[in-house]
């Protein structure tokens, strides 16, 4: 049967867990107390997602608990049944590798006070409490039922961080200032209260998930003047913050405009993450999805709240067909952003950063004054 030590060894080997203090916390906090008896396991090693049931398949359940596996514990905001693998995941015990990566990115000092956004099962709050002490940790969860279960889970192992049920986008002013804000749900726009509630020099770590392919880990430093600035650190995809889930395209029936492009859309979809950061910075709010056909064809869709584009690559043709509708020629914007990135020498994700102010967020390359500006 899988044990906590197996997980720690695997995470150390994969490079997610390097610091002894987090290794000790992963050994001290039994993840099994945070995973429900019946749930949906999503292994990160490519094994297909599958249901887990502690009673009927204890070894499989335990393997999900003590391997690098995300466990979906709620779907459709509580309306669905996670064990069926259908619906949209809305709460989970996040994959341990990603949890370790974010905790190491936060890198708190002894004595730091940390606010977690997205309590979920309470596992991350337990790890933070083990290292910093329960008194130093506040965690906010938007969903009543999830928050209630987290409180039970944490209490069972004798950890009592401050748990708040509410909208984490507002932060928790009563406990401010914090030395760190640790965000465990995907964010498209960084809420300003997090910047205001972080002590100057303190950190905000979060999965920035703008919608164009995967998300990105970012560590911001609050400057005390209304700004938080920092660089991207790696990849990450998290369930989006409730209020920031994108609405589907809302069309008023405008017709398709047809065209063609010499740019192979596969190059855009499968580009290095730096390209996707550039596109998200230059074409804010754009979402994307690509799918390969068995016959060598490839389709890419891009959309925002009002416009949509479809690009079809066919190996038999020199150019890919483009169809666009809505007020924006979204494919043209995406194409221009991709080629701009290529023209800068294809910079890697770690050369990009994000600045957050009251005016919104701004992506930059190498230095905050070198902005990756939205297309006019
Ligand atoms: C991936 S789970 C968090 C995993 C968790 N940290 C753990 O260790 O189990 C994301 C959580 O964020 C919560 N969430 C989404 N939007 C939120 C918001 N606006 N404020 C607070 N929590 C939110 C979801 O309900 C969900 O429980």
CA of 94 from ligand 1 middle (Å) equals 10
Q: Is 70 in the pocket of ligand 1 (CB under 6 A)?
A: no
Query: Residue 376: which pLDDT band, with cuts at 50, 70 and 90?
Result: low
| CB distance 335 to ligand 1 below 6 Å | no
Spacing, Cα 370 to ligand 1 middle (Å): 33
Give the span between the Cα atoms of 151 and 144, in whole angstroms: 11
CA-closest residue to ligand 1 atom 20: 168
Pair of tokens at residue 121: 């099962």
241 lines ligand 1 (CB under 6 A): yes
Q: Is the CB of 96 under 6 A from ligand 1?
A: no
b/e per residue, 244-267, with b = 16+ CB within 10 A? Answer: eeeeeeeeeeeeeeebebebbbee
Burial class (CB in 10 A: 0-12, 13-18, 19+), 158: exposed
Encode pLDDT of 112-127 as tens digits.
999 999 999 999 999 9
Q: pLDDT tens-digit profile of 333-346?
A: 999 999 999 999 99
Binding site membership of 154 for ligand 1 (Cβ less than 6 Å) = no
Give all domains of the chain, ordered by start, each with its CATH number: 257-343 (3.30.160.690)
Mean of per-residue pLDDT scores for the chain: 95
Work out which ligand 1 atom sits closest to the CA atom of 74. Answer: 27
Atom of ligand 1 nearest to the CA of 34: 9
pLDDT-derived band at 245 (thresholds 50, 70, 90) equals: confident
Q: Which atom of ligand 1 is nearest to the CA of 125?
A: 8
Predicted confidence at residue 1, as pLDDT, reads 80
Residue 250 has pLDDT above 70, yes or no: no
For residues 82 and 53, give the distance between their C-alpha atoms in angstroms, rounded to a whole number: 12
Is 251 a residue whose pLDDT tops 80?
Answer: no
Distance, in Å, from the CA atom of 193 to the CA atom of 170, rounded to the nearest integer, reads: 6
User: 44 C-alpha vs ligand 1 centroid, how far in Å?
Assistant: 19
Assign 243 a pLDDT band (cuts: 50, 70, 90).
confident
Please report which confidence band the pLDDT of residue 252 belongs to, taking 50, 70 and 90 as the band edges: low
- Which of these, 264, 318, 308, 260, lies nearest to 288 by C-alpha position? 308
* CA 317 to ligand 1 center in whole angstroms: 46
Number of Cα atoms under 13 Å in the Cβ half of residue 120: 35
Q: Is 275 in contact with 339 (CB distance < 8 Å)?
A: no
Q: Does residue 249 carry a pLDDT above 70?
A: no
Angle at 74 between CA 69 and CA 75, to 5 degrees: 105
Cα-to-centroid distance, 314 and ligand 1 (Å): 41
Annotated active-site positions, please?
Answer: 94
**Mind listing the pLDDT tens digit for each residue in 117-153?**
999 999 999 999 999 999 999 999 999 999 999 999 9
Cβ–ligand 1 contact at 142 (below 6 Å)? yes
């Amino acid at each position: 049967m899988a044990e906590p030590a197996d997980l720690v060894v695997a995470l150390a080997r994969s490079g997610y867990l390097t610091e002894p203090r987090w290794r000790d916390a992963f050994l001290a906090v039994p993840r099994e107390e945070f995973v429900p008896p019946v749930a949906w396991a999503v292994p990160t090693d490519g094994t297909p997602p599958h249901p887990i049931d502690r009673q009927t398949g204890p070894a499989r359940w335990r393997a999900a608990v003590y391997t690098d596996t995300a466990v979906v514990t709620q779907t459709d905001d509580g309306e669905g049944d996670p064990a069926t693998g259908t619906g949209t995941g809305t709460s989970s015990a996040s994959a341990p590798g990603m949890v370790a990566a974010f905790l190491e990115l936060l890198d708190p000092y002894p004595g730091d006070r940390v606010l977690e956004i997205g309590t979920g099962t309470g596992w991350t709050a337990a790890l933070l409490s083990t290292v910093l002490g329960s008194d130093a940790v506040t965690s906010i969860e938007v969903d009543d039922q999830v928050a209630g279960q987290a409180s039970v889970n944490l209490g069972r192992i004798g950890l009592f961080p401050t748990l708040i049920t509410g909208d984490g986008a507002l932060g928790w002013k009563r406990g401010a200032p914090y030395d760190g804000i640790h965000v465990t749900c995907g964010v498209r726009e960084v809420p300003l209260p997090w910047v205001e509630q972080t002590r100057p020099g303190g950190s905000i770590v979060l999965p920035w998930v703008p919608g164009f392919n995967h998300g990105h880990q970012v560590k911001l430093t609050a400057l005390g003047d209304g700004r938080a600035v920092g660089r991207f650190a790696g990849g990450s995809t998290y369930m989006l913050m409730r209020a920031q889930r994108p609405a589907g395209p809302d069309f008023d029936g405008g017709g398709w405009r047809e065209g063609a492009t010499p740019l192979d859309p596969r190059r855009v979809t499968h580009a290095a993450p730096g390209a996707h950061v550039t596109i998200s910075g230059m074409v804010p709010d754009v979402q994307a999805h690509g799918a390969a056909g068995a016959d060598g064809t490839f389709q890419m869709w891009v959309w925002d709240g009002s416009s949509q584009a479809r690009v079809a690559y066919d190996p038999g043709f020199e150019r890919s067909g483009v169809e666009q509708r809505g007020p924006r020629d979204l494919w043209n914007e995406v194409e221009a952003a991709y080629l701009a990135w290529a023209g800068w020498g294809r910079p890697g994700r770690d050369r990009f950063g994000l600045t957050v102010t009251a005016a919104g967020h701004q992506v930059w390359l190498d230095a905050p004054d070198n902005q990756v500006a939205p297309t006019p």
